[in-house]
């Protein structure tokens, strides 16, 4: 089994990348790779750019990474109630190459934000949109008030939120018959 995880943000200090990496680290003895979306920097999608230049290699590279995954863990950054622009651009490019880019993929959808809503609007949008592109959503979780409820050393700090997150991870684990760790995972790349 292989997990591909990423935060849907191009920010160097993305809290969603940190959260995705943390989620991936909770699976024992599983190969997990955390992507950095800045490796997939793209021109703004327009049909004019597509007609003139074709599909950038970064798009096929990204789709190849998705193909490697048995489980995708995506933590969505929310900007004005929707996807971060850079992720939406990558999503648009990728859907032009392969409309059903998530075909046959199980996805654990996450979101976090500094505020009390925890990116819930973008999470709801993705729950509606990603299955159209072939995804099977196996779980969702929103972590509000990231800076108060999370530390890189300890993970989720809030007791009830941590229990809820562990319950969701346990449900995902059952689908793969694998064990979970609530410690760091040395398999992360």
Tokens matching residue 27: 């699976």
pTM over 0.75: yes
Q: Using pLDDT thresholds of 50, 70 and 90, give the confidence band for residue 179.
A: low
pLDDT of 159 reads 98
Q: Bigger pLDDT: 125 or 177?
A: 125
pLDDT of 176 reads 74
pLDDT of 28 reads 87
Instruction: Find the length of the chain.
Output: 189
CATH code reported for the domain at 2-176: 3.40.50.360
Q: Are 158 and 141 in contact (CB under 8 A)?
A: no
pLDDT of 178 reads 58
Asked if pLDDT for residue 2 goes beyond 60, the answer is yes
- Span 81-140, pLDDT tens digits: 999 999 999 999 999 999 999 999 999 999 999 999 999 999 999 999 999 999 999 999
User: CA-CA distance, 42 to 93, in Å (whole number)?
Assistant: 9
User: CA-CA distance, 55 to 152, in Å (whole number)?
Assistant: 36
Q: Is the four-CA dihedral 106, 102, 124, 30 of positive or negative sign?
A: positive
Q: Chain-centre distance of CA 74, in angstroms?
A: 1
Q: For residues 167-184, give the mean pLDDT.
A: 73
122 φ/ψ sector (left φ>0, alpha ψ -120 to 50, else beta):
alpha
């Amino acid at each position: 089994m292989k997990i591909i995880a990423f935060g849907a943000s191009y920010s160097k200090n993305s809290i969603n990348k940190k959260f995705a990496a943390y989620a991936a680290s909770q699976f024992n003895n599983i190969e997990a790779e955390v992507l950095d979306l800045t490796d997939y920097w793209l021109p703004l999608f327009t049909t004019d750019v597509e007609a003139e230049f074709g599909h950038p290699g970064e798009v096929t590279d990204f789709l190849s990474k998705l193909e490697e995954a048995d489980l995708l863990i995506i933590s969505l950054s929310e900007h004005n109630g929707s996807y971060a622009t850079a992720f939406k651009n990558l999503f648009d490019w990728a859907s032009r190459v392969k409309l059903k880019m998530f075909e046959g993929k199980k996805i654990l959808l996450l979101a976090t934000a500094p505020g009390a809503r925890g990116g819930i609007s973008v999470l709801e949008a993705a729950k509606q949109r990603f299955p159209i592109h072939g995804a099977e959503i196996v779980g969702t979780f929103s972590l509000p008030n990231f800076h108060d409820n999370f530390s890189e050393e300890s993970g989720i700090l809030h007791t009830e939120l941590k229990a809820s997150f562990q319950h969701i991870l346990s449900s995902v684990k059952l689908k793969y018959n694998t064990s979970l760790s609530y410690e760091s995972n040395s398999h992360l790349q």
